[in-house]
Amino acid sequence: MDQVATLQLESADLQSSRNNLEHHTQEMGVKRLTVRRGQLFYLRLSFSRPFQSQSDHITFVAETGPKPSELLGTRATFFLTRIRPGNVWSASDFIIDSNSLHVSLFTPANAVIGHYILKIELSQGQGHSVTYPLGTFILLFNPWSPEDDVYLPSEILLQEYVMQDYGFVYKGHERFITSWPWNYGQFEEDIIDICFEILNKSLHYLKNPAKDCSQRNDVVYVCRVVSAMINSNDDNGVLQGNWSEDYSKGVSPLEWNGSVAILRHWSARGGQPVKYGQCWVFASVMCTVMRCLGVPTRVVSNFRSAHNVDRNLTIDTYYDRNAEMLSTQKRDKIWNFHVWNECWMIRKDLPPGYNGWQVLDPTPQQTSSGLFCCGPASVKAIREGDVHLAYDTPFVYAEVNADEVIWLLRDGQAQEILAHNTSSIGKEISTKMVGSDQHQSITSSYKYPEGSPEERAVFMKASRKMLGPQRASSPFLDLLESGGLRDEPAQLQLHLARIPEWGQDLQLLLRIRRVPDSTHPQGPIGLVVRFCAQALLHRGGTRKPLWRHTVRLNLDFGKETQWPLLLPYSNYRSKLTDEKLIRVSGIAEVEETGRSMLVLKDISLEPPHLSIEVSERAEVGKVLRVHVTLTNTLMVALSSCTMVLEGSGLVSGQITKDLGTLVAGHTLQIQLDLYPTKAGPRQLQVLISSNEVKEIKGYKDIFVTAAGAP
């Protein structure tokens, strides 16, 4: 009998076009194989002769990481079988077609993610084996697989939280929320490589590369590594934070349009941190990385967010009798807003009931297990006050639930409590609404309704866990449980008389109503109301006063008085931060008793608006004419104007254009031609910045049809 010729591999087709489409990775390109764990993918192997299953033996080998090991889960060997054997590495359902072998490969839903090398070993009988490389592939988390820890059972939500490559960050003030368009760009061809480069520059990897890679099957572990690596406090992370208002050595956080430019800049410079980021930049970049790796992720804004370092669940702020908010050496602050991420996952490390959305916060605020990272903290655990559960739940709980105590200082001493606010922190917690450009409040997923019995019960439960038994009878808790502090003889409110625009005088209205109190149940009272306006910093501090005003009035019982106030543009023109926020404070002193009352109004100034129009239908490869229009509605010129355009699938990288000076009252019209490269829903982001106003932003949703589509 003639000896059968040795089986030799002549070629391997990884069928990346077909596989990438079925694995929802086609947006990353089809030049290489990118698949998701827990799902079949298909190969075609061409041999020197027909494959004979009785005598020819094929062993598949898949390896990832620096020292692949079956013990660590970074190396897998598996044989050709007729039937797939379950949630393990396997090659099955093969079809012999002449000299070709069609085979289905399966990766377990708990496999390590990463770049893999795929090989086969061929042998006949007891003879020696020959190894052939088949190629490489990238393995990602799979939120479409019910066996994966990141499984999300809704195609609509998967499209929003994994596939959508643009979105919004919400900024400003809880009563004036502004949409900030952002280009996530997670499917740009080089971003997936940069994401793994981030993992490979972490301190965990540098300390023990093999062990670090072996833990990349665990989404909780990967999330914590990414959270630490987006900031650069411990390592060569992606972004360097800067809250100093001096951005001369880098890019202002307000001038970023998206994540792609930041990630490419970091990679191109060998992993040197990019200057600069603040919370919304950190969170948006993390959203890009996590969506790219296959973890459903969204960006969340918490308005009036507590930074409670000493974990006592109170934030103290101080005013003097002239209504000036005073600076303090304490690190505890109330940020105007703070932005973090939520990632969707099963928490096998926690008791049942805490799966779903988890908070992850890459902004460097405090250390967790020795590194500047935060989370994952179960949103359900935060709502229920289960602050003992990992990770960093007490810190996040305080961000949305701490109480605010406002003190009046006299002669450097805190002499009077002006207000004890149990519901002023954690307002309008917002994220992008699914399938819409609008924001959605998700406050109810973080806490019960403010002031409800459930909310106060949860607060007391969390307080006792965080303060400990030795402080269970603290003055703070006694104050908390005693309810209201005191009654006031008048009600004060500050209102805006018209929409506040940067560059215009601000018109306010003080409304005062006399109400009965224990000291003066019926009679008239005299009030001296001292006002102060200060630039409000993002992290809760203020600058020196930019405007003061005093009002004296007498108030009869049951009567209401209105008093107009004018804050001229000339007072604040050069005094604000780039975020254009003003705090107007008023302290009313009752002449008969010397007691004081506080009224506050935070004002977010609107920048000029720009409009973006496209003149025809958008189609891949065909010219798309874009018109950008900006009218300077301010009283002053906008100098050194520059425009940056960005948008995955519409613009390759960024388009930057110098626009010069835009005189007050004049209109700027810009026309550009774009050539879309990807079909489907896209978003064009436009940023115009000037010396006077850093963030004039706009966007245009554009649906791009495939080339040649009718």
Mean per-residue pLDDT for 183-194?
Answer: 97
190: annotated binding-site residue?
no
Provide the mean pLDDT of the chain: 93
CB 321 within 8 A of CB 347: no
- The reported pLDDT for the residue numbered 164 is 98
Mean pLDDT of 444-450: 97
pLDDT of residue 372: 85
- State the virtual CA torsion across 259, 265, 267, 271 in degrees, nearest 10: -110
Q: Which residues lie below 8 Å from residue 579, measured CB to CB, with a gap of 6+? A: 171, 254, 336, 536, 538
Q: Look at the block and give the residue holding tokens 């009352």.
A: 597
Q: Which residues of 354-376 are buried (b: 16+ CB within 10 A; e: fewer)?
A: bbbbbbbbbbbbeebeebbbbbb
- How confident is the model over 692-702, as a mean pLDDT? 93
Query: Worst-scoring range by mean pLDDT, 116-120, 153-157, 549-553, 606-610?
Result: 606-610
- 643: Cα separation from own chain's centroid: 24
Sign of CA dihedral 50, 53, 54, 57: positive
Distance CA 522, CA 514 (A): 9
Task: Kindly state the percentage of the chain with pLDDT values over 90.
Answer: 81
pLDDT one-digit tens code per residue, 225-265: 999 999 999 888 999 999 988 999 999 999 999 999 999 99
CB 603 within 8 A of CB 533: no
At 473, the pLDDT band (50, 70, 90 cuts) reads very low
- Identical fold, 155-466 and 610-704: no
Q: How far is CA 558 from the centre of its chain?
A: 48
Q: How far apart are CA 669 and CA 664, in angstroms?
A: 15
Strands (E), 217-313: 239-241, 274-277, 297-307
> What residue type is 306 in one-letter code?
A
Is 398 within 8 Å of 272 (Cβ atoms)?
no
Whether the CA torsion 254, 255, 257, 263 is positive or negative: it is: negative
Please list the active-site residues: 279, 338, 361
Q: Sheet containing 618-619: which strands, arranged edge to edge? A: 618-619, 696-705, 680-689, 638-646, 654-662
Mean pLDDT for 258-279 is 98
Q: Is 231 annotated as a binding residue?
A: no
Q: Is 338 exposed, middle or buried (0-12, 13-18, 19+ CB in 10 A)?
A: buried
CATH no. of 9-140: 2.60.40.10
**Choices 3.40.630.30, 3.40.50.300, 2.60.40.10, 3.40.140.80: CATH for 610-704:** 2.60.40.10
Predicted confidence at residue 666, as pLDDT, reads: 96
Cβ-count burial 617-635 (b if 16+ within 10 Å, e if not): ebbbeeebebebebebbbe
pLDDT at 556: 87
183 is in an annotated binding site: no
- The pair of three-digit structure tokens given for residue 77, joined into one six-digit string: 């060997």
The reply to whether 416 sits in an annotated binding site is no
Q: What is the pLDDT of residue 21?
A: 98
Q: Is 125 left (phi over 0), alpha (psi -120 to 50) or beta?
A: left
pLDDT in tens, 401-426: 999 999 999 888 888 899 999 999 99
Residue 45 has pLDDT above 80, yes or no: yes
Q: What is the pLDDT of residue 520?
A: 65
pLDDT over 50 at 193, yes or no: yes
Q: Average the pLDDT over 534-544 and give the result.
A: 92
pLDDT band per the 50, 70, 90 thresholds, residue 467:
confident
| Rounded Cα gap, residues 168 and 433, in angstroms | 10
CATH class for the domain made up of 155-466:
alpha beta
User: Are residues 18 and 88 in contact, defined by beta-carbon separation less than 8 angstroms?
Assistant: no
Q: Which residues contact 43 (CB under 8 A, 6 or more apart)?
A: 12, 13, 14, 15, 102, 103, 105, 134
Over residues 306-324, the pLDDT tens digits come to 998 888 899 999 999 999 9
Confidence (pLDDT) at 2: 53
Whole-number pLDDT of residue 472: 46
Q: In a 3-state reduction of DSSP, which class is residue 24?
A: coil
Strand partners, 34: 138
Give residue-wise pLDDT tens across range 199-233. 999 999 999 999 999 999 999 999 999 999 999 99
Model confidence at 624, pLDDT cuts 50, 70, 90, reads: very high
Among the four given CATH numbers 3.30.1490.20, 2.60.40.10, 1.10.645.10, 3.40.5.10, the one describing domain 490-604: 2.60.40.10
Q: How many residues comprise the chain?
A: 710
The domain segmentation of the chain, as residue ranges, is: 9-140, 155-466, 490-604, 610-704
- Position 484 confidence tier, pLDDT thresholds 50, 70, 90: very low
**Comparing C-alpha atoms, which of 419, 286, 432 is closest to residue 359?**
286
Q: Hey, which residues does 408 pair with through a beta bridge?
A: 319, 416
